[in-house]
Structure 1
Amino acid sequence: MKINTHNVVSFKEKFMRPETTDESMLKADFRTFFVVKVEEMFQLMKLPIPPMRSTSHILIYITEGEAIMNIGSQTFTIHENECMIVAAGQVYSFSNPDINKGFLCYFEDLFLLNKFSAADLRQEFEFLNIWGNPSVKLGQPVATYTQQLFERILAEYTTHGLGTKPLTQAYFVALLYEIQSAYKSLNASVQNMAVGLTNRFKELLTSNIRTMHRVSEYAAALNVTPNHLNKVIKSVTGKSPTKWIDETLLLEAKMLLHQTRLSVNDVAAEIGVLDASYFSRLFRKYEGCTPLQFRKKIDGI
């Protein structure tokens, strides 16, 4: 069974209140790009948002308050003059953000297709990769320029939608470069070859976690020895490949426990763990409760 992956349309239908049909907020062409005031959007969301994947990139910039989001297997908090980026394909969730003011933007690679290819876009802006750093702290004057650009993009979008797309694109590309100027890689102090191997490992995890559970399998796919992979991943991330595999498995399981009524045994089977008792022990090790107890928490029992 697949994990729920939402595009903007299906997300709007499931998690937004009917008021968002008002085209003063979301224009007819919102499928590839839209920008809104974050405080207005969150007022119309049916919170909390359970773990899921998005086909679009999500960009949040906070000017007052804070936002806490679970992205992948980690929790990130951003405050005033900080950005949060959820790359397309990444798993995320959040509950009730304490945001007073800011901006929220959804966009697909397609929106910038005549400016960048999808591959070039991710190469130019590391934060648009699932292995990038999703939290960016903007110092001055970058924060000022970023807010000005967001305000200009919002004014253009509110008035014209994407009717003046080249102008909106130009402002948006400038915005991405401003964020990039303040961006700090999670692996900034590590040699490039090690970082490259780590990033390829993370990408393989995302697409193969239900069928590949052993470090040796990932090492073979990456044409390195298990020992070398273990040393590199641990030096770059501070966590062993085994822990990355376990945490990614648990993330898949939690999404299935949220999104389906499959039994615990069936959830284990869906993620490729045939020993249900091992699955329960693994779940308790990382979550501090059994899968069944976790589901009861979700259901408020």
Structure 2
Amino acid sequence: MDIKKNNDNPEVKSLYDLYKLLDLRLDLIDPSEGFTIHNMKDIGLTMPYQSPSYRPDFFSFLFVKNGTGKYTVNEHTFDIKQQSIYFTNPSNYRTFSWQSIEEIYLITFDETFLKKYVGKDIFSYFPFLLTETIQPKEVTAEFYGIAEKIYLQILQEYKSQSSFRYKVIGHFLAVLLYRIKEYFWIDYNPLQEGSRSSQIVKSFKQLLENHYRDLSSGKADKVFRVQDYADAQHLHPNYLSNVIKSKTGKPIATWIVEKTISEAKSLLQNTSVSIKEITYQLGFSEAAHFSNYFKKHTGITPVQYRKELDTCK
């Protein structure tokens, strides 16, 4: 494989997109939902392997039972060792390299999957999902055994043909997240970690999450502008914009768009909520405005999105 042709720091919306970019096996991935799990040994990497730089739009966990390598997130490089767990979230550019892979399970999921199958207040229960960079965690054999039982149950369900498999996976994933929280981050607060700029980014992410929760519950009726997020942290909007762009690679406007579309997709999956209701819940004044906005950023209208969901059922 010619890595040089991919050295333009591509952005990928799913693991399926990433593996397609890297010319890896795609038959392990079901692109119908924002969730995947498999042993990385099965994807066809030739050792040693070095990836190009890319920026994903999904969360990921690596459970390393037997294998070694390195991950680089922005300027931070971490060694991946045996019997360790590694987590990354969307936004930052990263590369990975592997010296050996025998048994390393990769789980990825997007925000829409989390909110559909795990819970609407996912980031309140698991605030560590919002942090920027987390060092790989070496764990005891006892804890790894606990995690392994859960992710292998998830894998078994993922390979099944059950019409309820993603609902079951959502429950197992919640159990896994609670176990990881209990072991690593029982008192974790991402706002207390890192440099001042890191704190600004984490605070912005939480403000973004809280605001859209308020929109969906009716406590707010207008989408925040950059000025509103800046005022909440007592910052000049230009300074906030510069910090967010430099730390995450994405302008605030992009974060707001992606969050709006993610929330819209979650609401559209609930067919008991009309498109008119969704329009107002997301702060749009007219259904036509919401429909145009959704189509601009997804390529299809909200009505077409719902029809596609019905087709996949």
Report sequence identity in percent. 14
Q: How does 1:1-301 map to 2 (within 5 A)?
A: 4-8=10-14, 9-17=16-24, 20-22=25-27, 25-29=28-32, 31-41=33-43, 43=45, 47-114=49-116, 115-117=118-120, 120-160=121-161, 163-184=164-185, 199-203=198-202, 222-223=233-234
- C-alpha distance in 1, partners of 2:127/2:84? 17
- Secondary structure in 1 matching 2:55: strand
Q: TM-score, normalised by structure 1?
A: 0.57
- Secondary structure in 1 matching 2:41: helix
- C-alpha distance in 2, partners of 1:89/1:169? 23
- Secondary structure in 2 matching 1:43: coil
Q: Which runs of 5+ in 1 are unaligned?
A: 207-218, 226-244, 253-301
- C-alpha distance in 2, partners of 1:15/1:41? 11
Q: Which runs of 5+ in 2 are unaligned?
A: 1-7, 206-229, 237-242, 250-313
Q: Which has the higher contact order (CA 8 A, sep 6+)?
A: 1
- Secondary structure in 1 matching 2:94: strand
Q: 2:60–2:107: 8 Å Cα contact kept in structure 1?
A: yes
* Counterpart code for 1:155: Q
Q: 1:33–1:106: 8 Å Cα contact kept in structure 2?
A: yes
Q: How many angstroms does 1:95 deviate by?
A: 2.4
- C-alpha distance in 2, partners of 1:167/1:126? 23
The 1:156–1:95 alpha-carbon spacing in structure 2 relative to 1, beyond 3 Å, is same
The 1:46–1:125 alpha-carbon spacing in structure 2 relative to 1, beyond 3 Å, is farther
* Counterpart code for 1:6: V
Q: 1:15–1:46: 8 Å Cα contact kept in structure 2?
A: no
- C-alpha distance in 1, partners of 2:99/2:48? 12
- C-alpha distance in 1, partners of 2:55/2:162? 26
Q: How many angstroms does 1:191 deviate by?
A: 11
String of CA shifts for 1:143-166, please: whole Å, max 9, x gaps: 111011111111111123774222
Q: How many angstroms does 1:41 deviate by?
A: 2.6
- C-alpha distance in 2, partners of 1:96/1:56? 21
The 1:224–1:108 alpha-carbon spacing in structure 2 relative to 1, beyond 3 Å, is closer
The more displaced of 46-55 and 76-85 is 46-55
The 1:104–1:223 alpha-carbon spacing in structure 2 relative to 1, beyond 3 Å, is same
CA RMSD, aligned part only? 4.0
The 1:94–1:42 alpha-carbon spacing in structure 2 relative to 1, beyond 3 Å, is farther
- C-alpha distance in 2, partners of 1:45/1:34? 23
- C-alpha distance in 1, partners of 2:176/2:102? 21
Q: TM-score, normalised by structure 2?
A: 0.56
Q: How many angstroms does 1:83 deviate by?
A: 0.8
The 1:162–1:136 alpha-carbon spacing in structure 2 relative to 1, beyond 3 Å, is farther
State the partner residue of 1:269.
none
* Counterpart code for 1:10: D
- C-alpha distance in 2, partners of 1:52/1:126? 24
String of CA shifts for 1:253-277, please: whole Å, max 9, x gaps: xxxxxxxxxxxxxxxxxxxxxxxxx
Q: 1:130–1:203: 8 Å Cα contact kept in structure 2?
A: yes
